[in-house]
Amino acid sequence: MHGKRISIEQVLVRLVLGHLFSPSVTITPWRLLATLAVPGLLLAGPVTTVPWNGHTGAVSFTYDDARPSQIPKLIPQLDSMKLKATFFISLTGTSGDFEKKKADWILAAKNGHELANHTRNHVPVPTDPAAAAIISDMATYLRAVDTIVQSVTFAYPGCGVNGKSGVGAENFVARGCGQDNYAWASQPPDWLTISGLLLNPSNVSSAVTLLNSAKSGNSWVVTVVHDVDNPAPDQYSITPADNKKMLDAAVSNALWVETFQNVAAYYRAHFVMDAATATANTGGWNLTWTSPNPKLPKRIPLRIKLAAATFGNSITVQQSGVTLPPESDGTYIIDFMKLSLSVRQGTVGIASRTVLPSRINPRLTKTGLDLDGVFGPVEVLVTDVRGARLFQGVVSNRIVPLPLPSEDLQGLLFLTLRDRNTGATVRTRVNATH
């Protein structure tokens, strides 16, 4: 009777996995360790969030006012280093040109940069209740720019912290000005007044010092800049060379460089996640929790560890019925905003994320072929229709560099990808037509 139930589960798991992963993934039978689970028993603290997504500290670089230099000079610099930043947008009142460059801003947002609320006309935030209308006006404007813009973070124009009920009605976090480090283990004194270090043309070394302290203190820091141009056009602007110095310091300190929204959400969510309790049921555990704020982003990917003392070493982790593969270090990336997690006893033999999807949809981009959906290092061979080799080698960042700019490629390209861990191969092709 047991045997029959196991085989049905095996078939279901195989169907789900067969759709997502290479056919060579093997499914080992469930091992029902029923003695480990005691139905109804509450166990505290079985989940730990990995600090700052696995980094030694975190930094959010923020740039204000949609200043003229940001699209032509700053975004290319950030993109060349694959770093994401936050842009607090105003439309008027501070020599910005957001509406003129709206299409470019939407592209930047789709590329992972954050567009956020700095009020429409860069006005000082009035006291409550007058603040609410000004904050919600710009939030509504930004959300209509593109669905990717959530507009759930705020920066006070002119650093004047005020009208916090109105700010909090639309945002789960807000930035003021000042110099502070936020330690992983403690809540900030006020989520609606997170300090950002104001840069000026002569204090880049202070920013570098602050970034060093984020590493040594395992903490989060925030910087504030207007224009990035040479010469720096005002007292809160810096040159591209100085901005690069700041970015380089973050990279060399191996900090988590992410948007204000994403770091703050990860940080805020972890206090709830790490306090979650597991309720044992037949064959596993269930964990549920509640969101600490109604304005948190729609998704919050959270990297978590599940305590072996609670769950053992042979588990299957699911959210909304979907099995999550473990990362190569045994952690799991869950979506905090699903507000629940199921841990089943026994494994389904998913080795790690270094597996190939069974179908790849490569895209030709300016930098090469983007292997969407591929995780971890893979061996790649690209040939044209005549069999000429365009690329052969290991790709670890899922972008295959090509010998010609993508605009110069014509016709079918054939790709073979091989997973270095499992030996599994996937073949696909891409049609380069213009």
Is 64 a binder of Zn ion (CB under 5 A)? yes
Residues 6+ apart with CB under 8 A from 56: 214, 215, 218, 253, 254, 255
Shortest distance in whole angstroms from residue 159 CB to Zn ion: 9
Query: Looking up tokens 């403690």, which residue turns up?
Result: 186
Q: Which stretch binds Zn ion (CB under 5 A): 59-67, 166-174, 400-408, 420-428?
A: 59-67
Q: Which stretch binds Zn ion (CB under 5 A): 76-84, 149-157, 403-411, 414-422?
A: 149-157
Q: CB-wise, 95 or 319, nearer to Zn ion?
A: 95
197, with CB counted inside 10 A (0-12, 13-18, 19+), is: buried
Q: How far apart are CA 364 and CA 366, in angstroms?
A: 7
Query: Looking up tokens 């810096």, which residue turns up?
Result: 238
Q: CB-wise, 9 or 170, nearer to Zn ion?
A: 170
Shortest distance in whole angstroms from residue 118 CB to Zn ion: 6
Is 227 a binder of Zn ion (CB under 5 A)? no
Q: Which stretch binds Zn ion (CB under 5 A): 61-69, 98-106, 258-266, 290-298?
A: 61-69
Backbone dihedral angles phi then psi of residue 151, each to the nearest 5 degrees = 50, 65
Residue nearest to Zn ion (CB): 64
Shortest distance in whole angstroms from residue 65 CB to Zn ion: 4
CA distances from 19 to 1, 14, 315, 326 (A): 28, 8, 21, 18
Is 180 a binder of Zn ion (CB under 5 A)? no
Task: Give how many residues touch Zn ion by CB under 5 A.
Answer: 3
Q: CB-wise, 64 or 419, nearer to Zn ion?
A: 64
Q: CB-wise, 157 or 326, nearer to Zn ion?
A: 157
CA distances from 25 to 17, 28, 243, 272, 334 (A): 8, 10, 46, 34, 21
Which residue in the set 9, 65, 227, 370 belongs to the binding site for Zn ion (CB under 5 A)? Answer: 65
Shortest distance in whole angstroms from residue 63 CB to Zn ion: 10
Q: CB-wise, 118 or 303, nearer to Zn ion?
A: 118
Q: CB-wise, 64 or 170, nearer to Zn ion?
A: 64
77, with CB counted inside 10 A (0-12, 13-18, 19+), is: middle
Stretch 153-172 residues interacting with Zn ion (CB under 5 A): 157
**How far from the centroid of its chain's Cα atoms is residue 374's Cα?**
17
Q: Which stretch binds Zn ion (CB under 5 A): 152-160, 215-223, 364-372, 412-420?
A: 152-160
Q: How far apart are CA 190 and CA 38, in angstroms?
A: 40
Q: CB-wise, 22 or 119, nearer to Zn ion?
A: 119
Q: CB-wise, 65 or 242, nearer to Zn ion?
A: 65
Question: With contact defined as beta carbons under 8 Å apart, do 382 and 428 qualify?
Answer: no
Residues 6+ apart with CB under 8 A from 187: 271
CA distances from 336 to 153, 171, 271 (A): 18, 18, 11
Q: How far apart are CA 417 and CA 377, in angstroms?
A: 10
From residue 101 to residue 140, the character string flagging contacts with Zn ion as x (rule: CB under 5 A) and all else as - is ----------------------------------------
Stretch 282-311 residues interacting with Zn ion (CB under 5 A): none
Q: CB-wise, 65 or 370, nearer to Zn ion?
A: 65
Give the residues lining the site for Zn ion (CB under 5 A). Answer: 64-65, 157
